[in-house]
Structure 1
Amino acid sequence: MATASPAGYTATDRTTPTRSKERAAYDHETVHAILDQGYVCHLGFIRDGAPVVLPTLYARCGRRLYVHGSTGSRPLRGAAAGGLAVCLTVTHVDGLVLAKSAFHHSINYRSVVVHGTAHQVTDPAERSAALDAIVDHALPGRSADTRRPNAKELASTAVMSLDLHEVSAKVRTGGPNEEPEDLRLPHWSGVIPVVTSYGTPERAEIPGQDVPLPGYLPPRRK
């Protein structure tokens, strides 16, 4: 397995694309920014000889990812029994790329792929910090403005850790790649940006309560 260098992550056979290699990136800044801007990761693993991919919440702390799960879930049971081989992905869609030919239609995107072995977090202090990080990853400052988990809630919640060693990013930007002979065709071509935005916070209807909007809303991250 590759280890992280001071400047970035080392490319391996599994993290080197077979197509469009120029879009790959291994520097910490690019990889971490893509991870930090996401909300949901997709966690792939093998169960009973067949591939399974599950969407779940996560957070990055330095060069380690924490992944949220239930204590009764199969991946958590596998992670508790010596570790679970996984592949984790995060993807952002930034634009729809429309070309004059159907073949050259594409998507502008930023993605990260992580290979490694996930382990269940058993240390109480680390698990508590990881759960706070997962809440704050979705909305910075939120964990300090909530009730702490009770014993029953902690008993039903588990966290897996996945160290960032074998990691790569892949990014596509720009317009369509047109064939020279297609340039005069009467079809519109270009990019339709895809933007994630936040709406106005909607207060929960709880009788007798009129809690003011916290200062950390709306989210700072866009």
Structure 2
Amino acid sequence: MTLAPLSPTARTTVNRGRNRAVEDRTALHALLDDALVAHLGVDVGDHPVVLPVAFAVDLDGPDEGGTLYVHGSVAARWLNRSGATTVCVTVTEVDGLVAARSAFHHSMNYRSAVIVGVARIVTDADEKAHALALTVDHMVPGRSATLRPSTRKELAATSVLAVPLHDASLKVRAEGPVDDVEDVEAGTWGGVIPIRRVADTPVTGDDASGPVPADVVSRAARLGRVARAMA
């Protein structure tokens, strides 16, 4: 299947720093798979709010381009105000600190996505349960299959918001400092401090029993350090 290119509309077309714009939609999918936190911007009536949220993605979801899900309490004003309105979701990963020869040229290496779309509150029970399972699995892949099903009370207390992935843009910087020639010739050091996310060894809860499950060990290993199972 051929995927539509990114930045399909004017509202997600990159204008500033267009040389860093990425059109390959699979790069967006890779960022969403890697990132753990998104920021959701909504208008709650008397003021805008931008909130950090856990999220999940279903590339085969019912919305155009796939579906991004976020969840929250049914009592959350930001979520209840988001249904049938245009929202903005951003996801950013910092991959390095770029130390240049001048303050003006200091920068960061990053991958940054902007997704704009009309959100909908998920009302179908099966889709809602699926979205919540995906959210758990985005944190720890495979974990939802090891847990008891959510109770009716838990599902009733939780709202899920779906945002189409169609209208999105992606910018990436992955290079060293870009300095003026005279600053380079002056001999001042320039370079990059690489940044990566590293998980430590899983810590068993005081009231837990048995070894750390394989899904948790695997997730910790994927995040940068081979975890050793703890009793």
Assess if the C-alpha contact under 8 Å between 2:14 and 2:169 holds in 1: no
Q: Which residue of 2 aligns with 1:195?
A: 196
Residue of 6, 31, 52 corresponding to 1:9: 6
Assess if the C-alpha contact under 8 Å between 1:91 and 1:109 holds in 2: yes
Assess if the C-alpha contact under 8 Å between 1:70 and 1:158 holds in 2: yes
**More displaced 10-residue stretch of structure 1: 138-147 or 9-18:** 9-18
Q: Which residue of 2 aligns with 1:72?
A: 75
Structure 1 or 2: larger helix share? 2
Q: Which residue of 2 aligns with 1:56?
A: 53
SS at match of 1:197: coil
| Structure 1 Cα separation of the partners of residues 5 and 164 of structure 2 | 14
Q: Which residue of 2 aligns with 1:27?
A: 24
Structure 1 or 2: larger strand share? 1
Q: Which residue of 2 aligns with 1:172?
A: 173
How many residues align structurally? 214
Q: Which residue of 2 aligns with 1:142?
A: 143
Assess if the C-alpha contact under 8 Å between 1:11 and 1:26 holds in 2: no
Q: Which residue of 1 aligns with 2:42?
A: 45
| Structure 2 Cα separation of the partners of residues 186 and 164 of structure 1 | 46
Assess if the C-alpha contact under 8 Å between 2:38 and 2:89 holds in 1: yes
Specify the code of the residue in structure 1 equivalent to 2:103: A
Q: Which residue of 2 aligns with 1:115?
A: 116
| Structure 1 Cα separation of the partners of residues 126 and 8 of structure 2 | 33
| Structure 2 Cα separation of the partners of residues 188 and 156 of structure 1 | 55
Higher relative contact order (CA 8 A, sep 6+): 1
SS at match of 1:112: strand
Assess if the C-alpha contact under 8 Å between 1:75 and 1:84 holds in 2: no
SS at match of 2:82: helix
User: 1:132, CA displacement in angstroms?
Assistant: 0.1
Q: Deviations over 1:98-146 (max 9, x none)?
A: 0010100000000110000111000000000000000000110111122
The structure-2 alpha-carbon separation of the partners of 1:195 and 1:27, relative to structure 1 and needing over 3 Å to count, comes to same
SS at match of 1:217: helix
Structure 1 length normalisation: TM-score? Answer: 0.91
Q: Deviations over 1:157-181 (max 9, x none)?
A: 1100111111011000110001001
Structure 2 length normalisation: TM-score? Answer: 0.88
Structure 1 segments unaligned to the other structure (5+ residues)? none
User: 1:18, CA displacement in angstroms?
Assistant: 2.1
SS at match of 2:214: coil
Identity of matched residues, %: 45
Q: Which residue of 2 aligns with 1:131?
A: 132
Structure 2 segments unaligned to the other structure (5+ residues)? 60-65, 224-231
SS at match of 2:216: coil
